[in-house]
């Protein structure tokens, strides 16, 4: 048998093996990429959940603002009532001049009492509003921290995936090279045996 023909057959056999190995490698890479895609979709769903929680917090804040507006309207109504009372007192003062001193004392007492109640109510409302603001700020900060931690975990996971992918690729390349060397050594031995014969 001609040596060049034998060399061509060995070459075709080696190229066929290399092509087969390349097809298998390409199929494995596609499988790993689909796995990465599923992981990314899962992370996107988690981020959507976090955004829905943020929307819930914002809606709660809107409800609190509505309650605060209602309380302010009540205070305005109380002030309007006080103004109406003052008008009535002025009318009584003009009509009953003899009872002016006594009426003034009563008015002063009522005014002080109402002012004290309004001041106490304002202080109480201010305290509640401040407490709610602090609580909401704390929750928002906590949510932001959770988002930052989630982003860090995602980055760390991506780094681990990249490292694992590099290790897998290196191992596969090393295994394939060993197989190729073994195959070539066998082919050379067979060639030597055929030449010796």
Give 11's Cβ-side CA count (13 Å radius): 6
What is the value of pTM for the model shown?
Answer: 0.30
Average pLDDT over residues 135-147: 88
Q: How far apart are CA 193 and CA 187, in angstroms?
A: 10
Number of folded domains in the chain? Answer: 1
Structure tokens at 156: 């760390």
- For residue 61, what are the CA distances in angstroms to 65, 71, 140? 6, 15, 11
| Lowest mean pLDDT segment, chosen from 2-6, 100-104, 193-197 | 2-6
pLDDT digits (tens, 9 = 90+) for 29-63: 666 666 667 767 777 777 777 777 777 777 777 67
Q: How far apart are CA 165 and CA 157, in angstroms?
A: 12
Q: How far apart are CA 3 and CA 181, in angstroms?
A: 21
pLDDT number for residue 84: 84
Structure tokens at 53: 């929680």
**Which structural domain, as residue segments, surrounds residue 129?**
3-196
Whose CA is closest to 14, among 178, 192, 173, 181?
181
Whether 190 and 3 have beta carbons less than 8 Å apart is answered as no
What SS3 state is found at 169? helix
166 pLDDT more than 70 = yes
Structure tokens at 33: 């990429």
Q: How far apart are CA 66 and CA 129, in angstroms?
A: 12
């Amino acid at each position: 048998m001609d040596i060049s023909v034998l060399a061509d057959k060995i070459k075709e056999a080696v190229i066929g093996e290399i092509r087969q190995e390349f097809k298998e490698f390409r199929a494995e890479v596609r499988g790993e990429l689909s796995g990465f895609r599923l992981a990314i979709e899962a992370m996107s769903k988690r981020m959507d959940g976090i955004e829905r929680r943020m929307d819930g917090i914002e809606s709660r804040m809107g409800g609190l603002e509505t309650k605060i507006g209602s309380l302010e309207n009540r205070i305005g109504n109380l002030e309007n009532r006080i103004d109406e009372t003052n008008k009535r007192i002025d009318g009584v003062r003009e009509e009953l001049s003899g009872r002016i001193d006594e009426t003034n004392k009563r008015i002063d007492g009522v005014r002080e009492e109402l002012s004290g109640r309004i001041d106490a109510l304002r202080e109480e409302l201010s305290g509640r509003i401040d407490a709610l603001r602090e609580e909401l700020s704390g929750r928002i900060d906590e949510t932001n921290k959770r988002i930052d931690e989630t982003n860090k975990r995602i980055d760390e996971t991506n780094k681990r995936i990249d490292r694992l992918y590099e290790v897998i690729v290196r191992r596969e390349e090393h295994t394939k090279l060993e197989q190729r060397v073994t195959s070539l050594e066998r082919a050379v031995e067979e060639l030597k045996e055929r030449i010796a014969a």
